[in-house]
Amino acid sequence: MLLSRTILASGILAITAASAQAGKENDTFVWSTSTEMDTADIYYGNQREALINAYAMCDGLLHRDPITNEFQALLATSWEWTDDTTLELELREGVKFHDGTDFDAEDVAYTLNHVADPDSDMKIRVLVDWIDNVEAVDTYKVRINAKRPTPAALQYLTGTSPIYPSGHYADAPVVPGADGAERRDWGAVQPVCTGPYKLAEYVAGESLTLEANPDYFEDSPKGKPSIGTLVYKTIKDPETQIAEVVTGGVDWIWGVPPENAEMLSSMGNLTVVSAPTMRMSFLSLDAAGRTGDTPMTDLKVRQAIAHAINREAIAENLVGDGAEVQKSMCAPVQFGCETDVKQYPYDPEKAKALLAEAGYPDGFSVPFHAYRDRAYSEAVLNDLRAVGIETDLQFLQWRALRPKIVDDEVQIGHLTFGSNGILDVSASTSYYFTGGPDDYARDEEVKAWLEEADRTTDQEERKALYSKALNKIANQAYYIPLFMYGRTYAFNKDLDYPVTPDEMAHFYLAKWK
Amino acid sequence: MLVYLSKRLLMTFLVIAVTSVIAFLLVHLSGDPAAAMAGEGASQADIETVRETYGFDRPLYVQYLDWVSRVVTGDLGRSTYLRADVTDVLARHLPVTATLGVCALGFALALSIPLGVLAALRPNTMIDRFSLWLAVAGQALPSFLFALGLMYLFGVYLRVLPISGSETWWHFIMPSVALGYYATPAIMRLTRSGMLDVMLSDHVRTARAYGLSPWRVVVRHGLRHAIIPVVSLAAVQLGFMLGGSIVIETIFSLKGIGHLAWESIQRADIEVIQAILLVIAVAYAVLTLLADLLNAALDPRIRIS
């Protein structure tokens, strides 16, 4: 009897402990996604979860205000391009890292020089490839020598490039590489930063816990942390995430399936909102004829495909809350994204007429490659079938599709891209149209415009060049932009935090109501 | 006995070797591991860097032998995704799966053996029909649906059990029931048919004629014989639970081996996949051996021959 009572009591304790972890009364904010984190160091991963945590625990030189999109002083107090390739920054004094050491110019030079090194294994090279080297001019002043004029540099120096203390990577584990060689696993080192939250615990693939940094500097544009503890944990199954958020085991989830959004918003304890993301869904058409003799090389065929697809219906009815029709081959939040380009309204009759003009009155048959969301690809296929284009759907995993793209085997590819979260068109349009393996247009003029835009510091001139390139891409219907993915968020009603269109979660701004 | 044992060990070794070769080939044939590791949106240069860093540009047999030569020294390699030694990763995930497997089997045995015995003692009655119904339902219901049903009832509606995670024993109740229930029908049917046969046999009739208590007749003289095939089946079921609990582990967010294997396949974390296959192959072999030994203990005839 005593025993069973003890078991029962400890069980009740355990349950209350488990379910009361999250929430306002414990000042512990628990958020969950289905991603298993592969590193806590954003330089060595490209997951949103790592970036969200990096924004909370780390500071970059600059801060991009997520609401106004303006650059603000963070670890740097002022900055200036002294010539086309030299950026000088004055640094903030009196800032301390979470391990107690003082922040100064040596730390900036160390961190940026480490990741800019071609052998650093840094994941998103574009963020640092522009850096030739970084010098500490004096204790609170650094000079970044760029390899070439880099107009997007300020963007690259925001939260995506946190500053670590000098010598930070010295303890990176040595692990076996190929053929008995050794390599350093830099990404295994846990970040030490200056941000509003301190890293308390990281379990790879499972969870990451942050605690408020009471010594965070007063006048940071990110503000002092309000919530005591932020816990990230991976919950793979969406149904389980929903069950947890409904019962208060978790305070915040995103990617709520459209069929559950309504049910969740009827719950008294949750706020449900939708917002677009940076991920675009589009068709890549082989206009350059990389796969050989294909109808895709004919402009009329490409325009017919564009007219055949009911993008509004797919975005609104299928993809659901937060999704938007994509007008141009870039994410609208990105700098330089010209959306005032030629549109191809849904018009199956016109599509058939264009196909007939191109010499395909009875349509044709073509392999169609896709990898991400089968339902969306099938909706596109249905629209194409309605105008006489028969498709053979090859639905593959990304890692199987990618080599086919590189090896000139994809006539029509239904692809998606999130620009690695970079808010500049150089990360999206330039990725696809500057002659790389993903470029199935191979338009020399577009390539030249984009390359010039990517290195022009004059912002108006840049915009004009991107606009020219995006206009030609649309006129030629090289790629068919379909929709921007949307995302539905569900979170604890007691939580006050801004949902932003940059597909980020700025939890350092969050407060309990 | 020694010859028998060494034969068995050789077989086990061959099984493990063959599975690891097949698994290795499957992982490499299902796409470009370098592209998978570099992730979506990686440039071709990034992918080439990954290919060189991890040696994916070498012939497959060289890569395989490279792995084998390290495993025999006890080095299971490193998870490129989780950035940790595979030994440490397994040490974190194995206890979760082992706890789940043992609890689930315990639940399955506790439910199915008494039901099987009752059904055999009262054939074609309500009890028999009920246990048949329970068995058919267990086989027909997809485990994920049953798991979600449990989660809704006990986690969301009644709020008496935690929904996900593995922090306390309470976290294991729903997953164990969901996983164990799936094994119930087979064990129950086998117990029932075994008991039906045994209860009609000469020695049970003799035992009854001696006037032994019905309990003693059923348990000592009936069940002891009927349970021999059940032991072998339970061992196989446990092996299945250790390797095949992917769905249950995913639903209840238990970070166990099945879930880890599934995730590692997705992200081409080759050394983790190889290590898990090794562990599961060994577990199967050991469980089968243990079942044989247990059967020998239960049945003197096996022991002597």
Number of domains in chain B: 1
Kindly indicate the confidence band of residue A344, based on its pLDDT and cuts at 50, 70 and 90. very high
Q: What whole-number distance in Å separates Cα of residue B284 and Cα of residue B300? A: 25
Look at residue B76 and tell me if it is in a domain. Answer: no
**pLDDT above 90 covers what percent of chain A?**
73
Which of A175, A234, A431 comes nearest B78 by C-beta?
A175
* pLDDT above 90 for A476: yes
Look at residue B266 and tell me if it is in a domain. Answer: yes
Look at residue B69 and tell me if it is in a domain. Answer: no
Beta bridge mates, A209: A201, A231
CA atoms within 13 A on the CB side of A59: 31
Neighbour count for residue A68 (Cβ, 10 Å):
8
The CATH number that applies at residue B216 is 1.10.3720.10
Of the ranges A209-213, A419-423, B140-144, the best mean pLDDT one: A209-213
Q: What's the predicted TM-score (pTM) here?
A: 0.83
Residue A382, token pair as written in the block? 């249905």
> For A17-27, what is the mean pLDDT?
69
Q: Is B58 on the interface with A (CB under 8 A)?
A: yes
> For A458-485, what is the mean pLDDT?
95
Q: Is B253 on the interface with A (CB under 8 A)?
A: yes
Does the beta-carbon distance from A247 to B156 stay under 8 Å? yes
Look at residue B128 and tell me if it is in a domain. Answer: yes
**pLDDT above 90 covers what percent of chain B?**
26
The angle, 0 to 180 degrees and rounded to 10, between the axes of the packed helices B173-199 and B143-150 is: 120
Q: Is A24 on the interface with B (CB under 8 A)?
A: no
Pick the residue of A31, A36, A270, A439 with the most B CBs within 10 A to test the interface with B by mutation.
A36
Q: Is A175 exposed, middle or buried (0-12, 13-18, 19+ CB in 10 A)?
A: middle
Q: What is the mean pLDDT of chain A?
A: 91
Residues 56-85, chain A, touching B (beta carbon < 8 A): none
Does the beta-carbon distance from A15 to B39 stay under 8 Å? no
Residues 182-241, chain A, touching B (beta carbon < 8 A): 183, 185, 187-188, 203-206, 233-237, 239-240
* pLDDT above 50 for A18: no
Residues A166-212 pLDDT 10s: 999 999 998 876 666 788 899 999 999 999 999 999 999 999 999 99
A82 contact partners, CB below 8 Å, separation of at least 6: A88
Neighbour count for residue B92 (Cβ, 10 Å):
17
Residues A56-102 pLDDT 10s: 999 999 999 988 888 999 999 999 999 989 999 999 999 999 999 99
Kindly indicate the confidence band of residue B304, based on its pLDDT and cuts at 50, 70 and 90. low
Query: Considering only A369-383, A440-454, B233-247, which range has the smallest mean pLDDT?
Result: B233-247
Neighbour count for residue A129 (Cβ, 10 Å):
17
Return the pLDDT at A179: 61
CA atoms within 13 A on the CB side of B274: 28
Q: In angstroms, what CA-CA distances link B1 with A122, B7, B292, B304?
A: 57, 10, 13, 11
Kindly indicate the confidence band of residue A122, based on its pLDDT and cuts at 50, 70 and 90. confident
Return the pLDDT at B53: 75
Query: Considering only A237-241, A407-411, B134-138, which range has the smallest mean pLDDT?
Result: B134-138
A494 contact partners, CB below 8 Å, separation of at least 6: A23, A24, A512, A513
Q: What whole-number distance in Å separates Cα of residue A403 and Cα of residue B29? A: 12
Q: What whole-number distance in Å separates Cα of residue B165 and Cα of residue B172? A: 9
Return the pLDDT at A5: 41
Return the pLDDT at B281: 80
Look at residue B38 and tell me if it is in a domain. Answer: no
List chain A residues with CB under 8 Å of B75.
Answer: 176
Which of A46, A183, A437 comes nearest B39 by C-beta?
A46
Q: What is the DSSP string of A77-120?
A: EEEEEEETTEEEEEE-SS-B-TTSPBP-HHHHHHHHHHHHSTTS
> For B156-175, what is the mean pLDDT?
92
**Cβ pairs A/B, distance under 8 A:** 146
Q: Domain span at residue B203?
A: 88-303
Look at residue B167 and tell me if it is in a domain. Answer: yes
Does the beta-carbon distance from B251 to A36 stay under 8 Å? no
Kindly indicate the confidence band of residue B292, based on its pLDDT and cuts at 50, 70 and 90. confident
* pLDDT above 90 for A339: yes
Which of A46, A185, A206 comes nearest B83 by C-beta?
A185
Which of B53, B89, B159 comes nearest A247 by C-beta?
B159
B24 vs A281: which has the higher pLDDT = A281
> For B237-261, what is the mean pLDDT?
86
Kindly indicate the confidence band of residue A19, based on its pLDDT and cuts at 50, 70 and 90. very low
B213 contact partners, CB below 8 Å, separation of at least 6: none
Strand segments (E) across A177-311: 182-184, 197-203, 207-212, 229-234, 252-254, 270-285
Q: In angstroms, what CA-CA distances link B122 with A3, A211, B222?
A: 36, 62, 14
Residues A24-46 pLDDT 10s: 889 999 999 998 999 999 999 87
Return the pLDDT at A258: 80
Return the pLDDT at A199: 97
Pick the residue of B43, B83, B172, B249 with the most A CBs within 10 A to test the interface with A by mutation.
B83
Does the beta-carbon distance from A402 to B255 stay under 8 Å? no
Q: Which residue of A has its CA nearest to B168?
A: A14
* pLDDT above 50 for A12: no
Residues 432-491, chain A, touching B (beta carbon < 8 A): 436-437
Return the pLDDT at B46: 73
**pLDDT above 70 covers what percent of chain B?**
93
Return the pLDDT at B244: 63
Does the beta-carbon distance from A244 to B46 stay under 8 Å? no
Residues 210-249, chain B, touching A (beta carbon < 8 A): none
* pLDDT above 50 for B104: yes
> For A270-290, what is the mean pLDDT?
94
Look at residue B181 and tell me if it is in a domain. Answer: yes
Return the pLDDT at A1: 37
Q: Which residue of A has its CA nearest to B161?
A: A15
Look at residue B153 and tell me if it is in a domain. Answer: yes
Kindly indicate the confidence band of residue B40, based on its pLDDT and cuts at 50, 70 and 90. low
Does the beta-carbon distance from B46 to A123 stay under 8 Å? yes
The ipTM is 0.82
B35 vs A369: which has the higher pLDDT = A369
Residue keyed to tokens 């059904």: B119
* pLDDT above 90 for B241: no
Kindly indicate the confidence band of residue B144, based on its pLDDT and cuts at 50, 70 and 90. confident
Q: In angstroms, what CA-CA distances link A345 with A289, A317, A342, A391?
A: 26, 17, 10, 22
* pLDDT above 80 for B295: no
Kindly indicate the confidence band of residue B76, based on its pLDDT and cuts at 50, 70 and 90. confident
> For B133-157, what is the mean pLDDT?
88
Q: How far is A512 from chain B (nearest CA, A)?
A: 24
A316 contact partners, CB below 8 Å, separation of at least 6: A323
* pLDDT above 50 for A421: yes
CA atoms within 13 A on the CB side of A16: 7
Does the beta-carbon distance from A247 to B155 stay under 8 Å? yes
* pLDDT above 60 for A13: no
Residues B178-221 pLDDT 10s: 999 888 888 998 999 999 888 888 888 888 888 888 888 888 88
